[in-house]
Amino acid sequence: AQAPSWQPDASPMTGYLDVPSPGFASIDEALAEVAAGRFVVVLDDEDRENEGDLVGAANLMTQESLHFMIRHTSGLICVSVDGDTAERLDLPLMVPNDENEDAMSTAFTVSCDLVK
């Protein structure tokens, strides 16, 4: 596979998607960091949101790590859940699928502070 055009050392003849750009970790390295309870910053494409997300394993979060996320990011903590879990916790979609005009059709539920 050819390296994406945004990769600093990309060339039509060299570069592979599984080789990180200089200064970035590989996917395997990032997954090892998350599995060890540390955060990684995941960058998305310039043509999408062009932002970085702080990512960590939900089951390894501590009071200190959540405090760090809240203090040093936008303060919004997102957790992915499947449809069955959202229904069980009574978390409806913020915008119904047939009305979702987001370019990526991101399916956010309503916000909550705590679900017991």
Convert the pLDDT of each residue in 44-83 to its tens digit: 877 777 788 999 999 999 999 999 999 999 888 988 889 9
Instruction: Take residue 87 and report the two structure tokens written for it.
Output: 């229904």
Beta strands, E only, 1-116:
40-43, 52-55
> Which has more pLDDT, 16 or 28?
28
Q: What is the pLDDT of residue 17?
A: 65
| Burial 39-73, CB ≥16 within 10 A → b, else e | bbeeeeeeeeeeeeeeebeeeebeeebeeebeeee
Angle at 31 between CA 5 and CA 104, to 5 degrees: 55
Contact present, 109 and 83 (Cβ < 8 Å): no
